[in-house]
Amino acid sequence: MISLAHAQQAAGQANSYMGIVMMVAMFAIIWFLMIRPQQKKMKEHKAMVEALQKGDEVVTQGGITGRITKVSEGYVTVEISQIKDEPVEIVVQRPSVSTVLPKGTLKSL
């Protein structure tokens, strides 16, 4: 009887350790598949936004393409078109720039 009680107690402790191991394993899987890639993407976007300069051709998060004409601390002015040789410009926040295009991509501006 006593040996049976000790065996059941040992099995209960093994199950609790197994539960902790499974929780740690699940966290590790979530970390490497979801959290870490998202942090890497955010770091790359932040570096790209900080490196914006006049003349860069960009795409905003709204899908508007244009060429940067002015850069300030929190905003960039993007030339999106020309009407009768007058530039059409919009002001957007720096973080709303999603992509920097290769030079020469926008030929019509």
CA 45, CA 96: separation in Å to the nearest integer?
A: 10
58 shares a domain with 47? no
CA 100, CA 67: separation in Å to the nearest integer?
A: 10
45: tokens are 């976007």
Instruction: With respect to residue 107, please indicate whether it lies within any of the assigned structural domains.
Output: no
CB 52 within 8 A of CB 69: no
Return the pLDDT at 18. 85
Return the pLDDT at 109. 61
Range of the domain at 97: 53-101
21 shares a domain with 43? yes
Please report, for the domain that includes residue 82, its CATH number. Answer: 2.30.30
8 shares a domain with 39? yes
Return the pLDDT at 62. 93
What's the average pLDDT block by block, 10 residues per block, for the chain (109 residues)?
Answer: 53 73 92 93 96 95 95 95 92 96 83
pTM over 0.75: no
CA 101, CA 78: separation in Å to the nearest integer?
A: 13
